[in-house]
A and B are shown apart, each in its own frame.
Chain A
């Protein structure tokens, strides 16, 4: 346990009370002539089912403290993240899901091991540390992968003639699309960098909020937030670079002809 303070369980009645807020908003919106009832109810139902299911599964995993259960949960999360990213990238470039999943798995394994061992000092495959940190890492890396891949592919499609002009002067695909890669990479890492710039000033970032609610000392919570932010810059950046290298490979033939 990080802290010793006890945490209040909201209870089922508490959940019901909170959901009244959602219903109240839907009602107010209706009064303004905006009908969001269907979307709102679906979102409510999905969030309830998904989160409670995850809570139950994680409860089971936490209780076991088996390394394979932790690895299994991380693998499932990685596959879902990889295929979600693949589906979003599909719009501009088909069949990238397997490769993106592989990249996410590699980056998560490397980053998670380093952070838990070198930064936090966790002993063993402890679910309490590996799963939340792995989850936030995967979620961010997934977004970075989608941003980088779509940006690069869209730019290439839009500026195909310019890229060809460079290739015609003897440039390699890497040289001809250097500026696009730079823009796609920057675009993918900017969200974390921006989050770091405003961290703690405009709002309390997620990890800090969560650990504070869990009863952790504010200073310890701040330290966790810092560890996570440094980790996210690395995870997002490395994922973006690897995904961009893979997309660039797909986007040109062996005879260096653009395929988009």
Chain B
């Protein structure tokens, strides 16, 4: 049981039609395929970075893992199919932090407490300082969260997730709102936190340089398909096929 991977996807397929079927009155629309036969396996405590074009299915891939969308094929978290998990337990085990930062009101501390309260976790004696430190955020906890900069808000959202002590962290563009130096510092601190808590890290990013800090493995999604799945160092050192090379070589081609 303990050697089961943290995340295992087998031939996962998500279509636009499948996403619409969840909706009560969905407009007819395109019949595109968002994820097409994606398989991957992240060991416990492992790190996986996901790169790819906008609209290439990166976010949808993360949302399959916390079952925000239904996927064909098999999605397993800690050895168990996501459909067999209690949904709320799944979501606090594999916490997804979206690309946009959403605040639920109040001070920095209150923002951190919201998620604890939703999960019935006592808010006293929680390591708030440690969580903020793990995202490199040094702010007064009594300050209204709405006064933070966009980059700070996003890090607060990640810290909020950390306080649930998830086994798996699913981060969508965690460095999107940060400058290069802050991004490196935050990723390094986050990685240290993940190691200390034996957490698995899955990061969607559009910056190949994030891989220098994150290490581990990398997966490149192009048009919903896995174009490369290799060690992060292979990407950084250019050991990739022509398609992937063309994608990586297009400056600003990705948002």
Pairwise interchain contact B98-A170, C-beta atoms closer than 8 A: no
Compute how far the CA of A78 lies from the CA of B68 in the bound complex, rounded to whole angstroms. 39
Is B66 engaged at the interface, CB distance under 8 Å to the other chain?
A: yes
Compute how far the CA of A94 lies from the CA of B26 in the bound complex, rounded to whole angstroms. 11
- Smallest CB separation, B128 vs chain A (Å): 16
Hey, what's the 0/1 contact readout for B89-110 against A, CB within 8 Å counting as 1?
1011001111010101100000
Pairwise interchain contact A169-B115, C-beta atoms closer than 8 A: yes
Is B38 engaged at the interface, CB distance under 8 Å to the other chain?
A: no
Is A113 engaged at the interface, CB distance under 8 Å to the other chain?
A: no
Pairwise interchain contact A169-B67, C-beta atoms closer than 8 A: no
Pairwise interchain contact A168-B68, C-beta atoms closer than 8 A: yes
The residue in chain B whose Cβ has the minimal distance to the Cβ of A174 is B118
Interface size class of A (residues with CB under 8 A): 20 to 34
Is A172 engaged at the interface, CB distance under 8 Å to the other chain?
A: yes
Pairwise interchain contact B98-A164, C-beta atoms closer than 8 A: yes
Pairwise interchain contact B24-A250, C-beta atoms closer than 8 A: yes
Question: Which of chain A's residues have a CB closer than 8 A to the CB of B88?
Answer: 170-172, 256
Is A165 engaged at the interface, CB distance under 8 Å to the other chain?
A: yes
Pairwise interchain contact A170-B118, C-beta atoms closer than 8 A: yes
> If A253-B22, A259-B22 touch, does A170 touch B100 (CB 8 Å cutoff)?
no
Interface-central residue, A161, A169, A250, A251, by most chain B CB under 10 Å: A169
Question: Which of chain B's residues have a CB closer than 8 A to the CB of A165?
Answer: 97-98, 100, 102, 157
- Smallest CB separation, B19 vs chain A (Å): 10
Is B3 engaged at the interface, CB distance under 8 Å to the other chain?
A: no
Question: Which of chain A's residues have a CB closer than 8 A to the CB of B96?
Answer: 168
Pairwise interchain contact B91-A168, C-beta atoms closer than 8 A: yes
Pairwise interchain contact B23-A169, C-beta atoms closer than 8 A: no
- Smallest CB separation, B36 vs chain A (Å): 21
> If A93-B24, A168-B98, A169-B115 touch, does A256 touch B66 (CB 8 Å cutoff)?
no
Is B173 engaged at the interface, CB distance under 8 Å to the other chain?
A: no
Is A166 engaged at the interface, CB distance under 8 Å to the other chain?
A: yes
Is B30 engaged at the interface, CB distance under 8 Å to the other chain?
A: no
> If A164-B68, A255-B70 touch, does A260 touch B24 (CB 8 Å cutoff)?
yes
Compute how far the CA of A76 lies from the CA of B45 in the bound complex, rounded to whole angstroms. 64
B interface residues, how many (CB within 8 angstroms): 31
Is A257 engaged at the interface, CB distance under 8 Å to the other chain?
A: yes
- Smallest CB separation, A215 vs chain B (Å): 52
Compute how far the CA of A225 lies from the CA of B73 in the bound complex, rounded to whole angstroms. 63
Compute how far the CA of A79 lies from the CA of B83 in the bound complex, rounded to whole angstroms. 40
Question: Which of chain B's residues have a CB closer than 8 A to the CB of A170?
Answer: 88-89, 91-92, 95, 115, 118-119, 164
Question: Which of chain B's residues have a CB closer than 8 A to the CB of A175?
Answer: 118
Chain A, 84-121, CB within 8 A of any chain B CB: 93-94
Compute how far the CA of A257 lies from the CA of B24 in the bound complex, rounded to whole angstroms. 11
Is B87 engaged at the interface, CB distance under 8 Å to the other chain?
A: yes
Compute how far the CA of A169 lies from the CA of B23 in the bound complex, rounded to whole angstroms. 22
Pairwise interchain contact A257-B67, C-beta atoms closer than 8 A: yes
Is A162 engaged at the interface, CB distance under 8 Å to the other chain?
A: yes
Pairwise interchain contact B92-A256, C-beta atoms closer than 8 A: no
Question: Which of chain A's residues have a CB closer than 8 A to the CB of B178?
Answer: none
Compute how far the CA of A94 lies from the CA of B22 in the bound complex, rounded to whole angstroms. 14
Compute how far the CA of A250 lies from the CA of B25 in the bound complex, rounded to whole angstroms. 12
The residue in chain B whose Cβ has the minimal distance to the Cβ of A253 is B22
Chain B, 1-35, CB within 8 A of any chain A CB: 22-25
Question: Which of chain A's residues have a CB closer than 8 A to the CB of B91?
Answer: 167-170
Pairwise interchain contact A259-B24, C-beta atoms closer than 8 A: yes
Chain B, 46-74, CB within 8 A of any chain A CB: 66-70
CB-defined A-B contacts under 8 Å, sample of 24: A161-B102, A165-B100, A165-B157, A168-B66, A168-B91, A168-B96, A169-B114, A169-B118, A169-B160, A170-B89, A170-B95, A170-B115, A170-B164, A171-B88, A171-B119, A172-B88, A179-B105, A251-B24, A255-B83, A256-B87, A257-B22, A257-B69, A257-B70, A259-B24
The 3 tightest CB contacts between A and B, nearest first, are: A170-B92, A171-B118, A168-B96
Q: A170-B89, A172-B88, A257-B22 provided; 6 other pairs, C-beta below 8 A?
A: A168-B91, A169-B114, A169-B164, A170-B119, A170-B164, A176-B118
